[in-house]
């Protein structure tokens, strides 16, 4: 029986727009055994869920009027079965526990948990009752429940776990299964994705470099516990906890994305152990209750005084919250950020003073060391944004299926159909690009020609991070508008989704940073652009609008001798075209022609619109409507 930790606290319940059981919109038959298994899981979980449920039989007869034409609360959605694009990239043989997770999380209870975790935001406790410094953050129980279920399904660990039948090999589809789990969890609540994503992305960096430091730190911070599926919220030394998480702290007040401008200093304390003393600050340190952090700081030695500040590269350090001797590492949390969205997750400003850190990698090579972790979190930013788009579409479609205006359901009205279909195309293209990015990262571990694959994966990650995250605020707003005033009140899920939407475009490299990274990748690794063009040429002739768009890209990047200044000036235009062409190619390869033709016509064709719902006339509306979640 599927079980989850459910709250028993008496709290007000809201009649909130949350997802319910969906119709199966697939025409082909599924295996009878698979259908029966999923049916049992649904019934099993729903029968055990006795905590958060929508109010029963609200009074519709008021003193002055009768309440009619109201959208019913949505109680369950199978987040796997109802998502055709998701299923295309994660067929049954690769789905692992994803199907089970999609059923368990797609309930009123878990959406309500997300709401409660954001309503009751984290609080900072710098001192205990006696005035002693502790620097701990307390969270609402709903946040801990969300973290627990995320770790139970291995969002942070599945990519690095060994195969059950061969402990010497890792999961060949691990990154895809990680992305799929994060995609599901982020539709429920995105805040817990931050520590889970950083743990996923930071593990390979620590696995590679921490073994070259001190045996004391290795023993006191067992890396295998980063792969534990047990959530341990306690602030205790890592060696006695059942599960660990890690975070990172790079940006400072004066530099932001320009980490070379950092002023945090590192003084060597023990050469043989590569232990340093850190002094300085970090302007953004998310999830400060993680058990350890990757931190950038400038090593202070004679060599650094011979270079200009512009040429100094920071080094990367591992900073645990607890030291090998069982004492707290000085880690002074100054305050928690009062953020627009992502409010369930604590983001903090921290100061280091006599704080111990262990050098990872070479001196003055910290950006190169930490970039692997950044690449992982950029993947997750794209996937998390695709999840927000999808959930916005779910909310909008449910509302349109049940709300009437001018005598007809919204879903029956032509203009609303246009808007929903446009949102569908945007959402499915985002899901396709995010999941393909994950499969590409899997390929870097599973194929022999890894250099070319890695170059391609790097540029695809930057493209996905830029474009999906950039499109999310506009997409979620349009979904919110489909609900009208009902979507603008806090009892709805839409305000939380909308506030979350801009975040991933800012974190882990803003839009401009990602565009410049795309140019840098093409210049530093020309094989990345060559791999991109090779991938695109394989489907040449499949769609006239895509062929024309690719020709424009080739003329810009391969034939015109543009200066670096001119390339930088038009970096957003280049990144946009690369992203749209790549999304179109993925839809052509994996989706029905109705979908790919509609996407190419509406995004690359001469009659493309500038707002959602402004679609060309050659789109098959009726067939696309069948792909909506309800």
Nearest to 102 by CA among 35, 173, 38, 25: 38
Q: pTM for the whole thing?
A: 0.91
Q: Tell me the average pLDDT across 393-417.
A: 97
For domain 123-363, give the CATH number: 2.40.110.20
Residue 3: the pLDDT is: 37
Q: What sign results for the dihedral spanned by CA atoms 404, 408, 410, 411?
A: positive
Distances (CA, A) of 387 to 167, 503, 540: 32, 13, 30
Q: Which fold has domain 368-626?
A: Butyryl-CoA Dehydrogenase, subunit A; domain 3 (1.20.140)
CA 536 to the chain's CA centroid: 26
pLDDT digit string, tens, across residues 593-616: 999 999 999 999 998 889 999 999
pLDDT at 42 over 70: no
Residue 50: the pLDDT is: 45
Determine what percent of the chain is predicted with pLDDT higher than 70. 90
Instruction: Say how far apart CA 224 and CA 463 lie, in whole Å.
Output: 32
Question: Chain-wide mean pLDDT for the chain?
Answer: 90
pLDDT at 4 over 50: no
Nearest to 385 by CA among 190, 151, 126: 190
Q: What sign results for the dihedral spanned by CA atoms 235, 149, 440, 377?
A: negative
Instruction: Say how far apart CA 84 and CA 592 lie, in whole Å.
Output: 11
Residue 308: the pLDDT is: 53
Residue 216: the pLDDT is: 94
pLDDT at 12 over 70: no
pLDDT digit string, tens, across residues 572-597: 999 999 999 999 999 999 999 999 99
Segment among 3-7, 94-98, 321-325, 425-429 with least mean pLDDT:
3-7
Instruction: Say how far apart CA 477 and CA 481 lie, in whole Å.
Output: 6
End-to-end CA distance of the chain: 28
Residue 27: the pLDDT is: 40
pLDDT band, residue 57 (cuts 50/70/90):
confident
Domain regions of the chain by residue span: 123-363, 368-626
pLDDT band, residue 305 (cuts 50/70/90):
low
CA 121 to the chain's CA centroid: 20
pLDDT at 126 over 70: yes
- Helices 414-446, 366-402: axis angle to 10 degrees equals 150
Kindly give the pairing relationship between strand 265-270 and strand 246-249.
unpaired
Q: Tell me the average pLDDT across 50-64.
A: 86
Give the list of residues 6+ apart from residue 54 with CB closer than 8 angstroms, or none: 13, 15, 16, 18, 73, 75, 108
Do 123-363 and 368-626 have matching folds? no
């Amino acid at each position: 029986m599927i079980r989850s930790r459910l709250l028993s606290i008496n709290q007000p319940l809201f009649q909130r727009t949350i997802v319910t059981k969906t119709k199966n919109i697939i025409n082909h038959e599924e295996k009878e055994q698979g259908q029966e298994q999923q049916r049992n899981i649904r019934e099993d979980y729903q029968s055990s869920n006795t905590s958060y449920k929508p109010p029963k039989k609200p009074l519709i007869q008021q003193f002055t009027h009768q309440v009619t034409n109201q959208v019913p609360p949505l109680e369950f959605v199978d987040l796997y079965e109802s998502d055709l694009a998701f299923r295309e990239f994660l067929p049954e043989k690769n789905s692992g526990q994803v199907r089970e997770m999609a059923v368990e999380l797609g309930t009123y209870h878990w959406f309500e948990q997300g709401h409660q975790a954001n309503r009751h935001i984290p609080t900072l406790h710098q001192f205990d009752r006696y005035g002693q410094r502790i620097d701990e953050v307390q969270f609402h129980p709903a946040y801990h429940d969300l973290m627990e279920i995320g770790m139970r399904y291995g969002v942070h660990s599945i990519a690095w776990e060994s195969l059950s039948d061969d402990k010497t090999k890792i999961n060949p589809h691990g990154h895809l299964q990680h992305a799929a789990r994060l995609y599901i969890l982020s539709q429920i609540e995105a805040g817990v994705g931050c520590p889970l994503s950083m743990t996923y992305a930071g593990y390979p960096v620590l696995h590679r470099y921490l073994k070259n430091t001190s045996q004391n730190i290795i023993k006191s911070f067992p890396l295998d516990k980063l792969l534990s599926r047990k959530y341990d919220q306690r602030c205790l030394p890592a060696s006695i906890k059942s599960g660990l998480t890690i975070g990172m702290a790079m940006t400072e007040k004066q530099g932001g994305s320009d980490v070379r401008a950092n002023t945090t200093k590192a003084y060597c304390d023990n050469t043989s152990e590569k232990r340093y003393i850190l002094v300085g600050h970090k302007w953004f340190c998310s999830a400060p209750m993680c058990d350890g952090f990757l931190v950038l700081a400038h090593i202070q030695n004679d060599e650094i005084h011979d270079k200009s500040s512009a040429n100094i590269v920071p080094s990367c350090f591992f900073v645990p919250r607890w030291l090998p001797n069982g004492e707290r590492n000085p880690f002074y949390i100054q305050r928690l950020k009062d953020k627009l969205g992502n409010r369930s997750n604590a983001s903090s400003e921290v100061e280091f003073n006599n704080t111990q850190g262990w050098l990872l990698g070479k001196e003055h090579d910290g950006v190169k060391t930490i970039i692997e972790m950044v690449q992982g979190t950029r993947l997750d930013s794209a996937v998390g944004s695709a999840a927000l788009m999808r959930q916005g579409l779910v909310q909008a479609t449910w509302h349109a299926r049940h709300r009437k205006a001018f005598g007809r359901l919204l879903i029956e009205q032509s203009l609303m159909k246009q808007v929903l279909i446009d949102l569908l195309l945007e959402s499915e293209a985002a899901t396709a690009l995010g999941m393909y990015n994950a499969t590409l990262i899997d390929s870097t571990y599973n194929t022999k020609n890894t250099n070319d694959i890695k170059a391609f994966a790097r540029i695809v990650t930057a493209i996905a991070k830029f474009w999906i995250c950039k499109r999310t605020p506009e997409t979620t707003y349009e979904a919110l508008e489909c609900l009208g005033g009902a979507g603008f009140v806090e009892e709805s899920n839409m305000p939380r989704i909308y506030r979350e939407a801009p975040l991933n475009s800012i974190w882990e490299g803003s839009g401009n940073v990602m565009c410049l990274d795309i140019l840098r990748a093409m210049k530093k690794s020309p094989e990345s652009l060559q791999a991109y063009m090779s991938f695109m040429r394989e489907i040449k002739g499949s769609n006239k609008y895509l062929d024309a768009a690719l020709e424009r890209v080739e003329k810009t990047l391969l034939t015109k001798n543009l200066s670096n200044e001119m390339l930088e000036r038009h970096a957003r235009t280049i990144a946009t075209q690369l992203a749209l062409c790549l999304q179109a190619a993925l839809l052509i390869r994996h989706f029905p022609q109705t979908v790919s033709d509609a996407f190419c016509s509406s995004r690359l064709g001469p009659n493309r619109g500038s707002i959602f719902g402004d679609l060309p006339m050659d789109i098959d509306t009726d067939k696309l409507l069948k792909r909506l979640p309800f």
